Copies of this chain bind each other. A is one copy, B any other.
Amino acid sequence: MVVTLPEGYSFRALELSDYAKYIETLKVLTTVGEISSESFAELFNHWKEHPHIYQPHVIANTEGLVVATGMLLVERKLIHECGKVGHIEDISVAGSEQGKKLGLSMITGLTELAEKQGCYKVILDCSPHNVGFYEKCGYANSGVEMVKRFS
């Protein structure tokens, strides 16, 4: 799938200097809480120490500021001849950037990254009302997500 970003926008790996805008963009998705620059740097470095597993990405606007987020987590399994599975997590698009197909660009970018690394599949979980969007991204319904939350 060929996806064109708006002129001047880029799909790239998360950088340490993305701190404020990365957090701001993720707040569109869910609860983030107060995260200091030190906590962000610690997590960023943890991800960076495991580059084959954690692959956090962003879409940046013409000013280089984060307007969309997405994580590709690559899991090495035993099944499927020691196959790899990509997990897409924490997709979020800034409220002011809706309508530019940035979600589609992010999913396409992460999916291509997973394919290049030899994953045999990519999976993600979504709300029922987002199924249509992911179908447009080339994904198909394959099961049920179950959760247990701890208080």
Chain A interface residues (CB < 8 Å from chain B): 22-23, 26, 29-35, 39-40, 43, 46-47, 50, 53-54, 71, 73, 75-82, 87, 89-90, 111, 115, 119-128, 130-131, 134-135, 137-150
Contact = CB atoms under 8 A, between A and B. Distances in A.
Contact of A144 (B22, B29, B145): B145
A22 B82 CA distance: 13
A144 B125 CA distance: 5
A-B interface, 5 closest residue pairs, ranked by CB to CB distance from nearest = A33-B81, A143-B145, A142-B147, A139-B146, A121-B149
B89 A75 contact: yes
Contacts of A143: 125-128, 144-145, 147
Contact of A120 (B32, B135, B150): B150
Contacts of A123: 125, 145-147
Given A54-B76, A124-B146, A143-B147, 15 more contacts: A22-B78, A32-B80, A33-B81, A43-B78, A46-B76, A50-B53, A75-B89, A79-B90, A120-B150, A121-B147, A121-B150, A123-B147, A125-B142, A139-B148, A145-B145
Copies in the complex: 2
Contact of A139 (B26, B89, B147): B147
A26 B22 CA distance: 39
Contacts of A122: 147-148
Given A35-B81, A80-B31, A90-B77, A128 B148 contact: no
